[in-house]
């Protein structure tokens, strides 16, 4: 920090909603924090999506299910020195990733990054790691008038979003003319991602108005989750300074929009060799093209079966906002049922690759771009490991993913939360304290959405300019 002339340091951690929170310290204070940590109010971990505390922390016994949080007690943020980087949109500003700890030095089980770390440790016990690739769709709008959001006379909890216009009219998928029209935005996204050290592979015009997609090279799951948090945070801040609003809300509150998804490509790698544990050199004897064993290894088939078996329970971890469930509709390049298909973008799980292909993988299309990446990826591990532990068999591939006879994935956030609460395997795999914490916070959001007189207005205020 001394060598680079840092003027301030942001110490940030990722909350349950996948958003970064933290403090800005002067360099000398940041140096002390690297050794001793820095205090943070514990209620920051107990906020629902509207930033209301979901526990009555000052009532005796109200926090018995989350020990250590009574009375809004302090936690400690400890930065990771290896995460130090300079923020390209804020000259003189350095950034450090932190994780929360209790003051006695024990880890906080509610920390979503720790949930993924624990899941990866369990996976490593089988001799495997998780490799993932990110395909993230989102919307960017040009700011016309920020005064509704900033007018003190209109302040509310949450408040009005700004007024915007589109950066491209849409409905010309990957059209080069659309790319040129949106180039100022794409250039900011590219420059920001690369300056943050992110492995951006491509930027594309999506089908919907003002919608784009970013694709990243595959890497290990923890690194990819860290990169997703950095990408969303950086793109939103850099674009806002340039007069644009980036939103990772699934369905922006306008007519004729297209939903945004976050497709998670995944495979297991052998820790001793680094080879793809899903790849199969030759089709299994007696298998046809619709059999999972025609393409995937036995381990990959078990993982696939685990994802299907726990699809309902993982839905709220992959799509955690009430708004996101409007995406699950027939013939919309989004899943409607817990089925898999060979290179079929209508299925929840898409198996990509052929025998002998070292890039063979499973694409989960259940997620929305607002998902907490640590919980999204930890959910894959909990479900996939159960498939391995129980040697589950995969059904045949589905050629008609929108057939109404298929088992539907949950249609609302509330029903998805019910499914997670009822799934003891997922609760055990992700940690009962962390899951109870997640369920309580998200139920507060689901209840407020269900009770809202105008759900479109709820979406505008709750999500559009906040995620």
One domain, residues 149 and 103: no
One domain, residues 93 and 145: no
**Mean pLDDT across 380-401:** 97
Which pLDDT belongs to residue 424? 97
One domain, residues 271 and 345: yes
Q: What is the pLDDT of residues 90-137, one digit of tens each?
A: 999 999 999 999 999 999 999 999 999 999 999 999 999 999 999 999
Give which of 68, 48, 49 is closest to 57, Cα–Cα: 68
Kindly report the backbone phi and psi dihedral angles of residue 39, in degrees, each rounded to the nearest multiple of 5, phi listed first: -70, 150
Q: What is the pLDDT of residues 213-253, one digit of tens each?
A: 999 999 999 999 999 999 999 999 999 999 999 999 999 99
Of 108, 140, 159, the residue that ends a domain is 108
Reported as a pLDDT band with limits 50, 70 and 90, residue 332 is confident
Which pLDDT belongs to residue 466? 95
Query: Which residue's structure tokens are 């304290």?
Result: 433
Alpha-carbon Rg for the chain, nearest whole angstrom, is 22
One domain, residues 247 and 385: yes
For the chain, what is the domain count?
2
Reported as a pLDDT band with limits 50, 70 and 90, residue 3 is confident
What does DSSP assign to residue 464?
I
CA angle, 410 then 414 then 418, to 5° = 75
Q: What is the pLDDT of residues 283-317, one digit of tens each?
A: 999 999 999 999 999 999 999 999 999 999 999 99
CA distance 196 to 202: 15
CATH code (residue 254)? 3.30.590.10
Reported as a pLDDT band with limits 50, 70 and 90, residue 18 is very high
Q: What is the pLDDT of residues 404-425, one digit of tens each?
A: 999 899 999 999 999 999 999 9
One domain, residues 104 and 192: no
Of 45, 74, 108, the residue that ends a domain is 108
Decide if 114 is inside a domain. Answer: no
One domain, residues 180 and 131: yes
Of 57, 77, 108, the residue that ends a domain is 108
Which pLDDT belongs to residue 333? 87
One domain, residues 61 and 136: no
One domain, residues 188 and 167: yes
Decide if 115 is inside a domain. Answer: no
CATH code (residue 52)? 3.10.20.70
Give which of 384, 463, 379, 450 is closest to 112, Cα–Cα: 379
Decide if 116 is inside a domain. Answer: no
Reported as a pLDDT band with limits 50, 70 and 90, residue 1 is confident
The model's pTM is: 0.97
**Mean pLDDT across 33-55:** 95
Decide if 327 is inside a domain. Answer: yes
One domain, residues 49 and 154: no
Please state, in angstroms and as integers, the Cα–Cα distance from residue 123 to each residue in 84, 161, 353, 372, following that order. 28, 42, 23, 20
One domain, residues 398 and 279: yes
Provide the mean pLDDT of the chain. 96
Q: Which two tokens stand for residue 233?
A: 């945070």
Which pLDDT belongs to residue 425? 96
Range in 6-10, 144-148, 203-207, 418-422 the model is least confident about: 144-148
Instruction: Judge whether residue 462 has pLDDT over 90.
Output: yes
One domain, residues 35 and 154: no
Decide if 392 is inside a domain. Answer: yes
Provide the residue range defining the domain that includes 22: 8-108
Q: Write out the E strands in 15-73.
A: 20-25, 38-41
CA distance 320 to 328: 13
Decide if 3 is inside a domain. Answer: no
Decide if 2 is inside a domain. Answer: no
**Mean pLDDT across 336-341:** 96
One domain, residues 87 and 147: no
Q: What is the pLDDT of residues 259-287, one digit of tens each?
A: 999 999 999 999 999 999 999 999 999 99
Q: What is the pLDDT of residues 178-222, one digit of tens each?
A: 999 999 999 999 999 999 999 999 999 999 999 999 999 999 999
CA distance 134 to 381: 16
459 Cβ contact list (under 8 Å, min separation 6): 249, 251, 253, 322, 323
Reported as a pLDDT band with limits 50, 70 and 90, residue 360 is very high
């Amino acid at each position: 920090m001394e060598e680079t002339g840092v003027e301030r340091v942001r110490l940030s951690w990722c909350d349950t909603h996948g958003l970064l929170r933290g403090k800005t310290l002067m360099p000398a204070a940041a140096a002390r924090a690297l050794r001793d940590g820095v205090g943070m109010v514990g209620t920051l971990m107990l906020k629902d999506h509207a930033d209301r505390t979901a526990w009555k922390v000052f009532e005796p016994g109200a926090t018995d299910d989350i020990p250590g949080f009574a009375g809004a007690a302090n936690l400690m943020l400890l930065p990771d020195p290896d995460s130090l980087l300079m923020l390209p949109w804020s000259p003189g500003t350095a950034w450090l990733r932190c994780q929360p700890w209790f003051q006695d030095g024990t880890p906080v089980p509610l920390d979503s990054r720790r949930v993924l770390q624990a899941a990866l440790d369990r996976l490593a016990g089988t001799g495997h790691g998780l490799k993932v690739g990110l395909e993230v769709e989102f919307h960017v709008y040009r700011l016309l008038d920020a005064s509704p959001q900033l007018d003190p006379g209109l302040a509310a909890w949450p408040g009005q979003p700004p007024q915007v216009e589109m950066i491209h009219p849409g409905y010309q998928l990957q059209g080069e003319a659309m790319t040129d029209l949106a180039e100022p935005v794409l250039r900011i996204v590219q420059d920001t991602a690369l300056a943050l050290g992110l492995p951006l592979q491509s930027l594309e015009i999506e089908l919907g108005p003002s919608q784009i997609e970013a694709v990243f090279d595959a890497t290990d799951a923890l690194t990819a989750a860290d990169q997703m948090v950095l990408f969303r945070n950086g793109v939103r801040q850099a674009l806002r300074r340039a007069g644009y609003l980036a939103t990772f809300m699934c369905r922006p509150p306008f007519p004729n929009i297209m939903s945004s998804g976050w497709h998670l490509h995944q495979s297991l790698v052998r820790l001793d060799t680094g080879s793809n544990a899903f790849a199969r050199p030759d089709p299994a004897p007696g298998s046809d093209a619709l059999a999972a064993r025609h393409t995937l290894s036995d381990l990959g088939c078990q993982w696939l079966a685990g994802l299907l078996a726990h699809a309902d329970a993982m839905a709220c971890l992959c799509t955690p906002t009430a708004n996101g469930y409007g995406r699950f509709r027939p013939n919309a390049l989004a899943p409607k049922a817990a089925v898999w298909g060979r290179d079929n973008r209508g299925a929840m799980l898409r198996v990509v690759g052929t025998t002998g292909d070292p890039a063979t993988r499973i694409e989960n299309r259940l997620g929305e771009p607002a998902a907490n990446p640590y919980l999204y990826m930890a959910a894959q591990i909990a479900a996939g490991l159960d498939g391995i532990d129980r040697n589950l068999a995969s059904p045949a591939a589905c050629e008609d993913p929108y057939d109404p006879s298929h088992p539907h994935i949950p249609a609302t956030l509330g029903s998805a939360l019910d499914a997670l609460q009822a799934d003891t395997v997922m609760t055990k795999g992700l940690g009962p304290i962390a899951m109870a914490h997640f369920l309580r916070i998200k139920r507060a959001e689901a209840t407020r959405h269900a009770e809202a007189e105008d759900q479109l207005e709820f979406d505008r205020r709750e999500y559009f300019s906040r995620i």
